[in-house]
Structure 1
Amino acid sequence: MLIKPLSSIFALPSNKAALPSIGTALGVGLLLSLSAHAHADEIVKIGSAAPLTGPNANYGKDTENGARLAVEEINKKGLTIGGQKVTLQLDGQDDASDPRQATQVAQRLVDDKVAAVVGHMNSGTTIPASKIYSDAGIVQVSPSATNPAYTEQGFKTAYRVVATDAQQGPALANYASKNLKAKTVAIVDDATAYGQGLADQFEKQAKANGLTVLSHDATNDHAVDFRAILTKVKGERPDVIMYGGMDATGGPFAKQARQLAIRAHVLAGDGLCTPTLPSLAGEAADNVICSIAGAPLEKMPDGPAFAKRFTARFGQPPQVNAPFAYDAVNVIVDAMKAANSVDPAKILAAMPATNHQGVLGSEQFTSTGDLKQGVISVYTFKSGKQTLLDALKM
């Protein structure tokens, strides 16, 4: 075998002009690198906090999917902030509807350097997490926390795109007295910030309307057997029963009330007003009258179109919170555009001037971060199908 000398293998070309200098090559490489960096989209994280495990996971996934759809549509359309192309990234976290886990999730999102947060879902997780976001100066927009205490803390970072229990509880009480002609009521709540808060607001308005509150009992959000409480309630013979809680417990509550031959309507908030209630309560769902802190999806300005897009993307229709989470993302992005910045401090400064036209309609905020105008919808179930009774502007 003929072996060539190394000098011939590594010989430089005779035309030195054909070989760029090392300095020139490095310069060209650096320019190309800088050019690529200049055109690379900036990744901006939007936090999402909801229960993705546990008894409220169906709600939580619906909430996260609403936020995810908004992020995907915004990215597809293209977003430029401060002359820089921006790609949104949803940082989804599971708080399992647990207040302690919610604070851990909140700190994780802060550490992840999110620009803002959509969440949390439950009042009992939203309220403790809000202190962490406030300390970090990060906007928090809850799509579904209805306890008035959330925005009464005075945190400038706290917003919500849903009506409050201070509106929802009285709406239910008014429906009981005016529409059902009820004179007496028994109240049961699950001892959570949401369930107890809603029940307390209902009780206050019920008494103002002249209803007699026969009893107010507490259970918990993991209970499955309500026969002891319901047996006592049956002996009181109330015209209506108010239940403050979620569908995971409210479904069995209504079912057991029917098994005990209690004929009184079960009144409840948006925790029970879900498409899954009939599967949890059986035929007893038809005896439930519930409210949702928002307009019916079919009556929202962009509701039907949103439902079509959501169903096409996730293979199932939206439940309750999805359109609220969707609008929460868009409210945050509107603030980014107004601030011309993705800096959390500048997003926060732009939030009070929000005037967003979204799926829910017009969204403007009071000085405390609540919607200036909320809507309460009242539903029942007929043959297992959720049916609108009334929609009230508050």
Structure 2
Amino acid sequence: MIKALRRPLLLTLALLGAVGSFMMGSASAEPRTVLIGLAAPMSGLSGSTGVALERAAQLAVDDLNSGKPVIAGEPVLFKLLAQDDRADPRTGELIADYFVKSRVAAVVGHWNSGVGIPAARIYAAAGIPHVAPAVTAPAYTQQGDASAFRIVPHDGEGALLTADYVVRDLKAGNIAVIDDSTVFGTTYADEFVKSVKALQGRVGARYTVSSKTSDFNSILRAIRDNDPDVVFFAGLDAQAAQLVQDMRRLQVRARLVGIGGVVGPTFLKLAGAAGEGVSVVEPGLPSYKGPQWTHFEQAWKARYREDIYLYAPFAYDAVRVIAAAMREADSVDAAKVTASLHRIRYKGISGNIAFDAQGNLRDPVFTLYQVSQGRWRVIRSMGHSEKN
């Protein structure tokens, strides 16, 4: 009898030992690493922007990991793989190839349209979902790429609102247009001119300069002779600051109106007193509210001890919306995550995020800013309702 009882007992003990070993192994198993690539200019004239995007994305990754995420029943650890694309198209392509070889699950990037458009083709060929926190040229989502998304409005929408502001609010009867010869600047300027004409406004002259020039003398002398009411500049912050300084030095009396990418500390620092009165239509809300934003703001200031850069919230939300799509798909498979992004409805710190069939942001919101007493001041929010 004793022998008969010992076999089941020993078998039970053996099974319990095996289960215990399995449970211990599961508890001690390392989480699966999910790589998210981030590409932005972290050096050169736009370096401060790229660094801000990386910082925001890292905060998002840290927040996700603090919640002990589980996907498909498996614990995961998100990791950011950040790269400096130098605002250079060829470097952007090399980084895109590197991300593909590194088997990233998704990409946040790029910032410049001229970099993001060619890089997107490489991500598309690999089927990797990519969410741009700033690429605004319409062509970015017009390449037949189902995996391309942008978390900011595109240039056509921003240009229409800017043209409406210049023609109707400023009542400019004569407008000079300058672009910086980049894909971003040229596309935005083209859309702006088209919108001005549709509003029965007049573009008196159109000029193109190199994005690297700091010499506006000859153009501004020609502009001064034409005596425009507004100079519209399709370029970024550092160059816009140089332009407005030269305008005041050469006594060009027109108001300068800029585009997205100008609002921030760089322009204020470089433009100084010459920047007074400059206006810019930027994507995003005029202010952020709610517990998500409060957490982000506190985490940012505790870690980086400086003001939040305008585009940082978009990078934070880009990481978070990718992770939300993975949770909804219960997978990190690229095709499933891409399909999930097309369906997603996500409330981020920058606003409500949903994408149309092309990957553009639904219901985009803009804010009109103006420099007053050395600070960027909010004039009003702008959106679809103001277009009609």
- Provide the TM-score with structure 2 as the length reference: 0.91
SS in structure 1 at match of 2:257: strand
Cα distance 1:175–1:384, how it changes in 2: closer, same or farther (>3 A)? same
Per the TM alignment, residue 39 of structure 1 is displaced from its structure 2 partner at its CA by 2.3
Corresponding residue of 1:165 = 155
1:381 paired with 2:371, answer yes
1:293-372, aligned counterparts within 5 Å?
Answer: 293-298=283-288, 302-372=292-362
The alignment partner of 1:292 has SS state of strand
Superposed displacement of residue 154, structure 1 = 1.8
In structure 1, the partner of 2:77 is 87
Q: Does 1:70 align with 2:60?
A: yes
1:287 Cα deviation from its structure 2 partner: 2.9
Count of aligned pairs between the two proteins: 368
Q: Secondary structure at the match of 1:381?
A: strand
Does the CA contact (< 8 Å) of 1:186 and 1:213 recur in 2? yes
Q: 1:253 to 1:299 in 2, by over 3 A?
A: farther
Deviations 1:47-100 (A, max 9, x none): 000001111000111111111110011111221101111110000011000011
**Alignment-derived partner of residue 50 in structure 1:** 40
> 2:9 aligned with 1:41, yes or no?
no
- The residue type equivalent to 1:315 in the other structure is R
* Code of the aligned partner of 2:215: D
CA distance in 2, matches of 1:342, 1:152: 25
2:126 is the alignment partner of 1:136: yes
Quote how far apart the aligned CAs of 1:37 are. Answer: 8.4
In the other structure, the counterpart of 2:100 is 110
CA distance in 2 between partners of 1:314 and 1:64 (Å): 12
Q: Take 2:26 and 2:350, find their aligned partners in 1: how far apart are those partners? A: 40
Which residues in structure 2 correspond to 1:126-205 (within 5 Å)? 126-205=116-195
Matching residue of 2:90 = 100
TM-score, scaled to structure 1: 0.89
Q: Say which SS state the counterpart of residue 287 (structure 1) adopts.
A: coil
| Offset of residue 345 of structure 1 | 2.2
Contact 1:167–1:376 under 8 Å retained in 2: no
Q: Could you tell me whether the CA contact under 8 Å between 1:186 and 1:216 is conserved in 2?
A: yes
* Alpha-carbon RMSD: 2.0
Cα displacement (A) at 1:187:
0.3
Read off the aligned partner of 1:155 and give its amino acid letter: D
Between the aligned partners of 1:340 and 1:362, the Cα distance in structure 2 is 22
Distance (whole Å) between structure 2 residues aligned to residue 290 and residue 243 of structure 1 = 10
Q: Gaps (5+ residues) in structure 2?
A: 1-13
Q: Which residue of 2 aligns with 1:15?
A: none
Query: What is the aligned-residue identity percentage?
Result: 36
Aligned counterparts of 1:301 and 1:185: Cα–Cα separation in 2: 43
Is 2:207 the counterpart of 1:239? no
Aligned amino acid, residue 307 of structure 1: E
| Contact preservation (8 Å) 1:300, 1:361 | no
